[in-house]
Amino acid sequence: MPYTATVEDRIIHIAWEGVIAPDDLEGVDREIPRLAAELRFAPNVLHTFDQVTGRSFDPMAAFAVSQKRKYRRIPVPVRAALVVKSPEATRIAEVFVALNRTPNLTMERFPSEKAARAWLAE
């Protein structure tokens, strides 16, 4: 699994690493709602891609996940910050942001974790 999911106060932090595969997209798509249900509130999400070395999915795999997600009800507005520092991470984040159709979910890219956390705290 090329990501770890941790809960940090009111944030779910997804730290991506290695090569991201279609199964990883599906895994995160299941993991975030599971953690939110345990927390009993709709948390913001911080994605960091510092350790990502590539991807083995095409945009259609990401599109398939986004299609499922757009029917998931998020009860209140939440944010997802994507921290990107490399060209590969930027391309992955661009796909995630472009395909986001989830009601009540706003996604933004940031060049630093500090900026991302400040936005999530607003």
Check residues 15 and 75 and name the one with the higher pLDDT. Answer: 15
Span 8-15, average pLDDT: 95
Q: How many CB atoms lie within 10 A of CB 31?
A: 16
> How many CA atoms are closer than 13 Å to the CA of 121, on its beta-carbon side?
8
Q: Report the CATH number at residue 15.
A: 3.30.750.24
Q: How many domains does the chain have?
A: 1
- Residue 1 is predicted with a pLDDT of 61
Model confidence pLDDT, tens digit, residues 94-122: 988 998 888 899 999 999 999 999 999 99
Predicted pLDDT at 3: 95
Strand partners, 47: 14, 82
Name the nearest CA neighbour of 29 among 73, 76, 65. 65
Please give the average per-residue pLDDT across 2-12, as a whole number. Answer: 94
Is the pLDDT reported for residue 42 higher than 90? no
| pLDDT above 70 for 34 | yes
User: Domain containing 12: what range?
Assistant: 3-121
